[in-house]
A and B are shown apart, each in its own frame.
Chain A
Amino acid sequence: MTPATVPRPFWPTPGSAKMDPVDFFSNHIFRMVFFGTTTIGLVAGALGAFAYLRKQSLISDVIGHAALPGALLAFLAAVVVFDVSGRSMLLLVVGAIITGTLSALFANAVAARTKIAIDTAMAISLTTFFGLGMLLLRIITNNPFPGKGGIADYLFGNAASITRADLTTSIAIGAVAVFLMIAFWKEFTLRSFDPVLSTMFGFRARVIDTIMFSTIVIAIVIGVKAVGFVLMVAFIVTPPAAARQWTNTLPSMVMLSAAFGGLGSGLGAYISISMGNVPTGPVICLVLFTIFLVSLLASPKRSIIVSAMRRARARKALEAEFMTEGGAS
């Protein structure tokens, strides 16, 4: 595979109309893209459920943007201080987790201790960290650091760049996040649903929040190479919103959200590769949106179509009642 000429090819072979699953899965890069994005979708879907329940879906946007300076600082530290390659997935994930978590805790601390509302606090946190990230990005691109090629991909991602090592790292770190979620399930649930009782029981809010936001951060940063920080918000926000339409208990909501995320991402990756020179992350976003749309329209209990029909029927029944009453008198 030749390094970027103009314009940067997303896939080593141009897409063909005759792509079938056998062709697809016999190609190493396609397999990496498929399993890499599926892992990202699965983990982000599961952890996103708690962001949804905390009414902080947009915290993922803050974290995604704030992860950029962390990843870039990790790159700089590796290249300048330790004199090693700055492009390892593990390295950038560690850097991104640190600044991502700080941004989430900062926004929540501002909202908790001042009169400033959480949306404003999130916006301030996002723009500050992202501004720092853009500054670092410019510094890196303007200087002859080794291995800096393609570092701007952190913003929008490049699914074709997923290596086997990246996939292994994603699965390992994603498993840690999911494990933490299961281990602290009770604490996460109570803190999300009834923070007052959680405090009354003596659970330290700061401890739970740090763990909870760390897991959400992990779910976001493992997507950075494939999807980029900017679009990762869709992976966190959309699957739980869709899953909530179908279930009434937390375990089933988390599992369904993970399934939507994983399936949507795999399907999106498959479609984007089949279509040829089409970026994967954006296609996955559209697939996830389709799942969301179907959930809004078709879920048995909360469908907007069913509730509209129910209202219309009730109105008719009411009118009929009036008519018969009017006739009787």
Chain B
Amino acid sequence: MTLACESRNLSVAYREDPVLRHVDFRVPTGSVMGIVGPNGAGKSTLIKAMLGLVTPLAGTAEFFGQPLDAVRNRVGYMPQSASVDWDFPTTVIDLAVMGTYGELGWLRRPGKSERARAMAALEQTGMQDFAKRQIGELSGGQRQRAFLARALVQAPDLYFMDEPFQGIDALSQQAMIDVLTGLSASGKTIVIVHHHLGSVLDFCDHVTLLNQSIVAMGRGEDVFTKDNIRAAYDAGNGAEAFLADAG
């Protein structure tokens, strides 16, 4: 089994409070890995620490067996949507074109072929009709689809997505899941932070249950046991209701 990415002994603290302890996170190439856990479990932090967006206290991360700097263009990241200025004077197509900036490198400008690729990605996410819209004029679901289009333009081999389905409509969610399924079928690896226990297995084949450290990690059906979920969610923290629901 080859790994698309792995962290070794990764630990992160905000001020003095540890958020992650000794996390050995491994994602097999070609898998769709869901990271699940209660609020404050460190799900987003795990991704950010691996990508160097948060400085870890200890530990390392590798992507395709190499440090991130060697393979930057093969790794994509879709942050939680609230983190940009929606009043920024940019249109949906301009946003998608930004996905090419990494491969262009310093000073080279995007041209016709980059715009064509951006347009194709917008079509893939069903956003082609909104290409000329300013990004603030989009609904929550459209915004996420526009950002997904940008990630598609970048065409990495490994995608990190932080809560991509948060606050979006059913139509957008389905459109995004279709795209993710397509990516997975073409051999891409996807890591998704997800907070909704009930729907994780709808699109993830692997699951990591996280609560500051890894509770369980592996194929979805093996990991998703009552005992594991209880352990991850310290009894009563939303898990009981889910477990009752699932029977």
Interface residues of A (CB under 8 A from B): 53, 55, 183-187, 189-190, 192-194, 196-203, 244, 247-250, 252-253
Name B107's closest neighbour in chain A (CB-CB). Answer: A183
**Pairwise interchain contact A186-B51, C-beta atoms closer than 8 A:** no
**Pairwise interchain contact A55-B85, C-beta atoms closer than 8 A:** yes
**Pairwise interchain contact B109-A186, C-beta atoms closer than 8 A:** yes
Q: Does B220 contact A (CB under 8 A)?
A: no
Q: Does B242 contact A (CB under 8 A)?
A: no
Select A196's contact among B69, B77, B85, beta carbons within 8 Å: B77
Q: Does B98 contact A (CB under 8 A)?
A: yes
Q: Does B82 contact A (CB under 8 A)?
A: no
Which of B4-12, B17-25, B87-95, B166-174 lies at the binding interface? B87-95
**Pairwise interchain contact A250-B104, C-beta atoms closer than 8 A:** no
**Pairwise interchain contact B89-A196, C-beta atoms closer than 8 A:** no
Q: Does B110 contact A (CB under 8 A)?
A: yes
Supply 10 further A-B pairs (C-beta < 8 A) apart from A190-B98, A200-B53.
A53-B88, A53-B89, A184-B107, A186-B110, A190-B101, A193-B84, A199-B53, A200-B72, A250-B90, A250-B94
Residues from chain B with a CB closer than 8 A to the CB of A194 are: 84, 98
Residues from chain B with a CB closer than 8 A to the CB of A244 are: 89
A-B contact count (CB 8 A): 67
**Pairwise interchain contact B106-A187, C-beta atoms closer than 8 A:** yes
Q: Does B102 contact A (CB under 8 A)?
A: yes
| Assembled-state Cα–Cα distance A165/B110 (Å) | 38
Interface residues of B in 139-194 (CB under 8 A from A): none
Min distance, Cβ B240 to any Cβ of chain A, angstroms: 36
**Pairwise interchain contact A193-B109, C-beta atoms closer than 8 A:** no
Min distance, Cβ B213 to any Cβ of chain A, angstroms: 26
CB-CB under 8 A for A200 and B98, given A193-B85, A247-B89, A253-B89: no
Min distance, Cβ A249 to any Cβ of chain B, angstroms: 6
Min distance, Cβ A161 to any Cβ of chain B, angstroms: 37
CB-CB under 8 A for A202 and B109, given A193-B88, A196-B83, A249-B91: no
Select A201's contact among B52, B88, B101, beta carbons within 8 Å: B101
Residues from chain B with a CB closer than 8 A to the CB of A185 are: 109
Min distance, Cβ B86 to any Cβ of chain A, angstroms: 10
Min distance, Cβ A246 to any Cβ of chain B, angstroms: 10
Residues from chain B with a CB closer than 8 A to the CB of A197 are: 77, 98, 101
**Pairwise interchain contact B107-A202, C-beta atoms closer than 8 A:** no
Residues from chain A with a CB closer than 8 A to the CB of B128 are: none
Q: Does B60 contact A (CB under 8 A)?
A: no
Residues from chain B with a CB closer than 8 A to the CB of A249 are: 89-91, 94, 134
Name B97's closest neighbour in chain A (CB-CB). Answer: A186
**Pairwise interchain contact B90-A201, C-beta atoms closer than 8 A:** no
Q: Does B79 contact A (CB under 8 A)?
A: yes
Name B83's closest neighbour in chain A (CB-CB). Answer: A196
**Pairwise interchain contact A202-B72, C-beta atoms closer than 8 A:** yes
| Assembled-state Cα–Cα distance A319/B84 (Å) | 37
| Assembled-state Cα–Cα distance A40/B114 (Å) | 35
| Assembled-state Cα–Cα distance A187/B107 (Å) | 8
Residues from chain A with a CB closer than 8 A to the CB of B73 are: 201
Min distance, Cβ B159 to any Cβ of chain A, angstroms: 12
| Assembled-state Cα–Cα distance A19/B174 (Å) | 69
| Assembled-state Cα–Cα distance A189/B98 (Å) | 9
Name B91's closest neighbour in chain A (CB-CB). Answer: A249
Residues from chain A with a CB closer than 8 A to the CB of B77 are: 196-197, 200
Min distance, Cβ A250 to any Cβ of chain B, angstroms: 5
Residues from chain B with a CB closer than 8 A to the CB of A183 are: 107
Task: Pull 6 A–B residue pairs with CB atoms less than 8 Å apart, ordered by A.
Answer: A186-B109, A193-B84, A196-B83, A248-B91, A248-B134, A250-B94
**Pairwise interchain contact B89-A201, C-beta atoms closer than 8 A:** no
Write the B94-131 contact mask toward A (1 if CB under 8 angstroms, else 0).
Answer: 10001001101011111000000000000000000000
**Pairwise interchain contact A201-B107, C-beta atoms closer than 8 A:** no
Residues from chain B with a CB closer than 8 A to the CB of A198 are: 101
Interface centre among A189, A201, A250 (most CB of B within 10 A): A201
Select B51's contact among A187, A200, A203, A250, beta carbons within 8 Å: A200
**Pairwise interchain contact B53-A196, C-beta atoms closer than 8 A:** yes
Residues from chain B with a CB closer than 8 A to the CB of A196 are: 53, 77, 79, 83
Name A202's closest neighbour in chain B (CB-CB). Answer: B72
| Assembled-state Cα–Cα distance A253/B107 (Å) | 21
Residues from chain A with a CB closer than 8 A to the CB of B134 are: 248-249
| Assembled-state Cα–Cα distance A186/B108 (Å) | 8
Residues from chain B with a CB closer than 8 A to the CB of A187 are: 106-107
**Pairwise interchain contact B98-A203, C-beta atoms closer than 8 A:** no
Min distance, Cβ B101 to any Cβ of chain A, angstroms: 6
Name B53's closest neighbour in chain A (CB-CB). Answer: A196
| Assembled-state Cα–Cα distance A260/B84 (Å) | 27
**Pairwise interchain contact A203-B89, C-beta atoms closer than 8 A:** no
Min distance, Cβ B87 to any Cβ of chain A, angstroms: 8
Residues from chain A with a CB closer than 8 A to the CB of B107 are: 183-184, 186-187
Min distance, Cβ A126 to any Cβ of chain B, angstroms: 24
| Assembled-state Cα–Cα distance A186/B98 (Å) | 8
Name B94's closest neighbour in chain A (CB-CB). Answer: A249
